[in-house]
Amino acid sequence: MNKIFIANFKMNKTNDEVLEYINEFNKLIPKNLSDEICICLPFTALCNGKFLDERVVLGAQNMHEQEFGAFTGEISADMLKNLNVGLVILGHSERRNYFNESNEKINKKIKTALRHGLKVVLCVGETKFQRNSKKTNQVLKSQIEEALVGIYENELSSVIIAYEPVWAIGTGEVAKNGDISTAVKVIRDVISNLYSENASKNQKIIYGGSLTSETSKNILKNDDICGALIGGASLNPNEFIKIIS
């Protein structure tokens, strides 16, 4: 089965460093690539997405829900589209935690992104505290239900759900396959209740959290997920390529 690999550079790499990365990465991409690759660069480097191998989708890490206007420091969907961005990460736990993004705000962003023809990676996941208090299912349910208010079933083909347990992000602690499968089942049940069996079956779900070329081997064998969202390990082109291959 073809997989989706999404790199999230977060607030790393200057424009020059991204150019260096792209030169290196393009040389390493397998000729017979069948998987989907997307690299989510910092805003300041998106203009260099045009140098990426044409099989790689250019991604962004956030955007504003409004079309344009007096929102100092923000980036609109049009600005992203104009730079050939094809996908945007929304609802990342770092946005939720450090920038107070609510499910309601994420919902508005998703609607705007879809209206502009951008694919969306909707990140969901529980904190350690929520996990220890056995709230994981409830958290996933409300994050998905609230983020998808007013989104139509036929739009779900443009939405990838990333299960990213907060306790696994950047900590070196990778979720176990059993935990991932349980979370995926919860996510599919929510989609089934909101939409249909068919929507649930077709929903693309990926995993993210401390993946490396070592830890990803086992995780990617799990047929319940169709790919990975990779932060730290994607910053090294060799390491990212090793995960893909």
For the annotated catalytic residues, the residue numbers are: 92, 164
Say whether 107 sits in a helix, a strand or coil.
helix
- Burial class of 202 by CB neighbour count within 10 A (0 to 12, 13 to 18, 19+): middle
For ligand PGA, the binding residues in 109-168 under the rule CB under 6 A are 164
* DSSP designation for 193: H
Closest to ligand PGA by CB, 186 or 233: 233
Q: Which of 5, 8, 188, 203 binds ligand PGA (CB under 6 A)?
A: 8
Closest residue to ligand PGA, Cβ-based? 231
For the record, the structure tokens of 150 come out as 């007013």
Contact between 229 and ligand PGA by CB under 6 A: the answer reads yes
Q: Which stretch, 18-26, 104-112, 182-190, 228-236, contacts ligand PGA (CB under 6 A)?
A: 228-236
Closest to ligand PGA by CB, 6 or 191: 6
Q: How far apart are CA 113 and CA 227, in angstroms?
A: 21
* Residue matched to tokens 């992203």: 80
Contact between 169 and ligand PGA by CB under 6 A: the answer reads yes
For the record, the structure tokens of 72 come out as 């100092």
Smallest gap from Cβ 229 to ligand PGA, in A, equals 4
Q: How far apart are CA 40 and CA 217, in angstroms?
A: 22
Smallest gap from Cβ 94 to ligand PGA, in A, equals 7
Q: Which of 49, 165, 209, 227 binds ligand PGA (CB under 6 A)?
A: 209
Smallest gap from Cβ 16 to ligand PGA, in A, equals 22
CB atoms inside a 10 Å sphere around CB 144: 23
Q: Which stretch, 80-88, 127-135, 179-187, 229-237, contacts ligand PGA (CB under 6 A)?
A: 229-237
Contact between 210 and ligand PGA by CB under 6 A: the answer reads yes
Smallest gap from Cβ 142 to ligand PGA, in A, equals 20
Closest to ligand PGA by CB, 91 or 200: 91
Contact between 38 and ligand PGA by CB under 6 A: the answer reads no
Helices 177-194, 136-147: crossing angle, 10 deg rounding: 40
- The DSSP element (H or E) to which 105 belongs, if any, is helix 103-115
For the record, the structure tokens of 41 come out as 């660069």
* DSSP designation for 176: P
Contact between 39 and ligand PGA by CB under 6 A: the answer reads no
How many Cα neighbours within 13 Å face the side chain of 229?
35
Interacting residues with ligand PGA (CB under 6 A): 8, 164, 169-170, 208-211, 229-233
